[in-house]
Structure 1
Amino acid sequence: MDQLRDLSEQDLGYNWELGADYAMSLDSDAQLKWQWIQNRSSRDFERAINDQFILAGGPDFNSLEQKQTHNGETIAKVSLFVSHNDAFSSRSGLELVHNFIDQQLLLVEDSSVAEDSDQRIVEERAVMFWFGQWQLLPELQLDIGSSAEYSNVRQSGDLRQQREFFYPKPQLELNWRLSSAETWLLGINREVNQLNLADFTNSVDSDSDELRPSNPDLEQEKSWQIRIQYERILANNGGNLKAKYYYHDIEDVVDQMPVSPTESVLGNIGDGERHGIAVELDTSLAENTRGTLKLDLIDTSVTDPFNGDTRQISGVRHNVWTAEIKQEYPDLSVPLSIGLKYAYKSRYQNRRIDEINTVSESDGYLDTYVEWQLPSKMNVRLDVKNLLDNTVETDRVNFTESITAGGVESNEYFEKRLGLFAELNVSAQF
């Protein structure tokens, strides 16, 4: 069945962020620091689709999606730094966070309203923390402590619900300095991923134009994380090399889960694992010229909730590498930097109860930027992105009822050209 799609989109919006911090000395051994950050963003999105089925000769399919989204975050944090003696110091404090998202979604298909929802999700979070640093030996340092996180999530609009969470997050890190140029690090900590409030809102699949309902009972992904890292400072101010191995024992993996024999939603599907190797090289290529190379190799595993098989976690790219060259001109009347960055990301896979999607890019991402350092600690940066006109390609296998039942209904291929685009960022410190 040949299908001709006519698609038009309009996507308008804005985002901004403000921050401030203030530090004051209580005495020669103690400092109090206040931090405040606030950001807001708004998006007004509209997409109209007309599908013509050429060979089948059926009627056209028309749909209209309109979505307005407003979200923001406010963070207030106070930290106390105390040097108790030459071998022991501590850091403690409190962080308060307020997040929200408001979304109105309208989906009309062939003149019939398929979705008309109004959702608001608010998260209020408080984190208390204390960490101590001991210099056990001249070459051996121990960092140990914990934070405790409480959060309250309220949903209103078409669905009303309130939930509370509490998680302790202990952390231990041991640094062993072999020499002035070489350091080993061993760390273990409990990590709790922050909620993405957009996961609690309904959405529309950009390829199939199908409604994707949210799951109000979604919880954060938790993990115990272990890492071993080696760092070496290169001779003659040549830069540094970092190599790290990490392992994550994950609870409540966030992925698609079945809610009926033919429907799935984003939820928590049980335990999983993630481990990998990360290498980063930052080196001087010439005077005022630096090069950076980063490589990440990742492997994951989780039990598929649809058929019980062990598979990779959805959405994870198994290798990513980036290379960047940056030339600085510090002696100009307005100092500036020029950079070129290339990133390659391997394909990844995600699935629902009745489909498997394999997503890849035709080329890597090549970006360039210019950054000016203006007086009064102001920076202006212009990025020009996707110089190679990268294309995102999706191969989709649709099953008649479900992956478990088998029976391939159709194979689809989607191609999305991202085009060339620019970003302008202005930042300042007062």
Structure 2
Amino acid sequence: MILMAFSRRFPAILLASAISAFPATAQDGGEPAPTAQADASDTDREIFRPVFFERFAPQTALEMVERVPGFQIDGQSSARGLGQGGANVLLNGTRFAAKSVGIEDALQRIPASDVIRIELVDGATLDIPGLSGQVVNVVYSASAGSGQFRWSPVFRTRGADPVLLDGEISWAGQVGRVDYTLSLSNRSARRGNDGPERLLDAAGNLVELRQEESRYESERPRLSGTIARQFDAGQTLNLNGAVELYLFEATEERIGTLASRDFVEREDEINYELGGDYAFDVVGGRLKLIGLHRFEASDFLTDVATAFVAPRPREAFRQDLFIDETETIARGEFAWNAGESDWQVSLEGALNSLETGNVVEVLAPTGIFVPLPSAPDTTVEEQRAEAALTWGRRLAGDVSVQATLASEYSRLSQSGANGLTRSFLRPKGEISAAWRASDTLDVRARIAREVGQLDFFDFVASTDLGSGNQQAGNPNLVPQQSWEFDLSATKGLGPWGSLTLRSVYVTREGRVTQVPIGATGEAPGNVDGANSFFVKATGTILFAPLGWEGAQLEIDTYYRTTSIPDPLTGLRRPFSNDVPWQIDADLRHDVPGTDWAWGGGLFANQRLYGVRLNQISLDENAGVNASLFVENKDVAGLRIRASVSNLLDLNENYRRTVYVNRRDGPVAFTEERFRTYGTIFTLDISGTFG
């Protein structure tokens, strides 16, 4: 077993050795591309000043962060509470206390002209628990007032109407000692596809040939803002808020040789979020109080109608589903220094709830819809408290270490059918280390005991009218617990750029997957013995040393293996719907001495089968998504970018095999779907004002 484990990890070890051996010097000749210089007074941080980004002509802080060599933003919006590190981007040294308002949104509202510098630092050297790996700190100072705007229409050759209302306008300014931002945005989407579907019997014979056409339309208007205030005595206050609508409609029309079907699903949602923090010095340390409240109300309406060619009554179903979600978090952090050590103690309390109700109606022979028996409205609630102690310091040489010891208490309760109340006490924590092995090589290691976040929808029974799948609720679910072992290295390649290799092994207790309920039913349940291992490589390769000034290649690729005992057969299999590998490469060339840039990208991955107790399904994009773009950074003061994607006519294919009872038994039928969606053209027009 040890030999097998080593053989699986040998490619990662070999690649790490290759990174450390990569030459950090360039060939002589030619003007080198701009490189970041670390301040001599702080070798832990790599400093990128505005001059580094001049050739990209950025308009916002987001565009600058996206150009930091080898760095990728990780928003962490789904992390449990606020005490697990959060996003890997800091604003003036502090975390952004929000979840539904992403760090990308916050960066988008900061004008590039306000950015003083961007610091790239290892999270283990900071006094912020849970932050590890590469972290960016955006240091900026608000100006008297400036604005940004963006309009991004999208056109497809087939499958969807044009997107004409996608854009954002924002303003950032200062009134006295108060910095503020205000933004009005809309994320608009139009998607669609069409093609044939075949229905096959157990022997693979054609039963029905169908022609299908699907359309998906959504609008997501949002009003958001932030306020920041610094006081004379060193106190800081940060507030943020957002209110958003989400309007979605999906339609599918099927014309078959045996029947025709119309499917319509609509969602009307409103959500808001308020967050903030207040920090001040007290009794030899600094106390920070953080709060967040989020609410989301959604109403779903689904209609399915089937008309048969043979003499048979028309069938129709209607479902009305409402969902209310609430999350409230209060957190306090007290940090102090003792000699060469940094300490922090924190307390966090959270209240999460989900309330849902569902009515399904069937078309009666009289022509009116009649309600079917349904479960009563259900409320799922979690009360959670967490206490943590964090210690960090620099050890001998260029090694920094951070350790966190924490404990979590949670109380889960569910009303309605199969209501149940349970309490849990779980230890967790982590230890991370950062080693600056040389001026061009940083190595990071992390071991963590983590408690996962439950999906409250898994507690509630549900019906999917589109696929015909039903799922029982499971009031006995518990949060997943895991051990995570993380090792990464970043190699600075001098004028060639930067390359990062990361490997992660995770062993999981209580992973949530579909488990048998009774003779034919199923529900989400906890399964022990799951594990995963993946290797990821990201980097920025500059071509200036080869004489190609202004050109760079961004790469992001990974390979992952997963394993879990199948609850039905007992045999080990990959995670359901897993993506074992992915390749994403983007080339950009900023033509020296001009305002022009051009480039392209390639994206490909593999998706594995989704596994239920009575069926397996595969939903994948078959092929490679290739794209090209051309950009001018100054068209009467505007930046205009035109791009085209899906140049190789990528398809959306789907295959589902349904079994009579369980998937270890005989096959009932198979569906095969082949759809195309055409070439996509996008125009991005952005600028500044004020």
Do both proteins adopt the same fold according to a TM-score greater than 0.5, normalized to the shorter chain?
yes
Aligned residue among 84, 95, 118 for 2:348: 95
Distance 1:201 1:386 in 2: 42
The SS at the match of 1:92 is strand
Q: Equivalent residue for 2:266?
A: 10
Q: Does 1:66 align with 2:326?
A: no
Q: Equivalent residue for 1:281?
A: 539
Aligned residue among 331, 336, 339 for 1:82: 336
Aligned residue among 6, 31, 36 for 2:291: 36
Aligned residue among 207, 215, 225 for 2:466: 207
Distance 1:159 1:354, change over 3 A: same
Instruction: Kindly provide the CA deviation profile for residues 154-176 of structure 1, in whole angstroms up to 9, marking residues without a partner as x.
Output: 11134422111221113122222
Once the two structures are superposed, the pairs formed by residues 383-398 of structure 1 within 5 Å of their partners are 388=646, 392-398=652-658
The SS at the match of 1:216 is coil
Displacement of 1:256 after TM fit? 0.8
Distance 1:63 1:151, change over 3 A: same
Q: Which has the higher strand share?
A: 1
Aligned residue among 170, 195, 213 for 2:429: 170
Q: Does 1:353 align with 2:609?
A: no
Moved more, 197-206 or 358-367: 358-367
Once the two structures are superposed, the pairs formed by residues 24-423 of structure 1 within 5 Å of their partners are 24-26=280-282, 30-54=285-309, 57-86=311-340, 88-111=341-364, 112-117=370-375, 118-235=377-494, 240-282=498-540, 292-323=554-585, 344-362=604-622, 388=646, 392-404=652-664, 406-413=665-672
Distance 2:663 2:568 in 1: 7
The SS at the match of 1:317 is coil
Distance 1:32 1:292, change over 3 A: farther
Displacement of 1:348 after TM fit? 2.7
The SS at the match of 1:199 is helix
Distance 1:40 1:296, change over 3 A: farther
Distance 1:49 1:92 in 2: 54
Equivalent residues of 1:323, 1:341 under 8 A apart: yes
Which residue identity lines up with residue 319 of structure 2 in the other structure?
E
Q: Which has the higher helix share?
A: 2
Instruction: Kindly provide the CA deviation profile for residues 371-406 of structure 1, in whole angstroms up to 9, marking residues without a partner as x.
Output: xxxxxxxxxxxxx999659875431111112112x2
Displacement of 1:268 after TM fit? 1.2
Equivalent residues of 1:256, 1:269 under 8 A apart: no
Which residue identity lines up with residue 300 of structure 2 in the other structure?
F
- Work out which structure has the larger RCO, using CA pairs closer than 8 Å and 6 or more positions apart in sequence: 2
Moved more, 203-212 or 144-153: 203-212
Q: Equivalent residue for 2:60?
A: none
The SS at the match of 1:178 is strand
Q: Equivalent residue for 2:101?
A: none
Instruction: Kindly provide the CA deviation profile for residues 16-72 of structure 1, in whole angstroms up to 9, marking residues without a partner as x.
Output: 322211221236x62221211222212111111112344x65433211111111112
Equivalent residues of 1:215, 1:265 under 8 A apart: yes
Distance 1:364 1:283, change over 3 A: same
Quick one: percent identity of the two aligned structures?
23
The SS at the match of 1:198 is helix
Distance 1:145 1:348, change over 3 A: same
The SS at the match of 2:567 is coil
Moved more, 143-152 or 285-294: 285-294
Structure 1-normalised TM-score?
0.81
Displacement of 1:93 after TM fit? 0.4
Moved more, 221-230 or 137-146: 137-146
Q: Which has the larger radius of gyration?
A: 2
Equivalent residues of 1:215, 1:266 under 8 A apart: yes
Gaps of 5+ in 2: 1-206, 209-258, 365-369, 591-597, 629-641, 683-690
Displacement of 1:180 after TM fit? 2.8
Instruction: Kindly provide the CA deviation profile for residues 260-306 of structure 1, in whole angstroms up to 9, marking residues without a partner as x.
Output: 22221111122111111122224678999986432222111111111
Distance 1:326 1:62, change over 3 A: farther
Gaps of 5+ in 1: 329-337, 369-383, 423-430
Distance 1:394 1:139 in 2: 52
Distance 1:232 1:215, change over 3 A: same
Distance 1:52 1:390 in 2: 32
Displacement of 1:108 after TM fit? 1.9
Equivalent residues of 1:366, 1:385 under 8 A apart: no
Displacement of 1:194 after TM fit? 0.8
Equivalent residues of 1:51, 1:61 under 8 A apart: yes
Q: Equivalent residue for 1:380?
A: none
Distance 2:361 2:543 in 1: 57
Which residue identity lines up with residue 397 of structure 1 in the other structure?
T
Which residue identity lines up with residue 663 of structure 2 in the other structure?
I
Moved more, 11-20 or 217-226: 11-20
Equivalent residues of 1:344, 1:363 under 8 A apart: yes
Distance 1:418 1:99, change over 3 A: farther
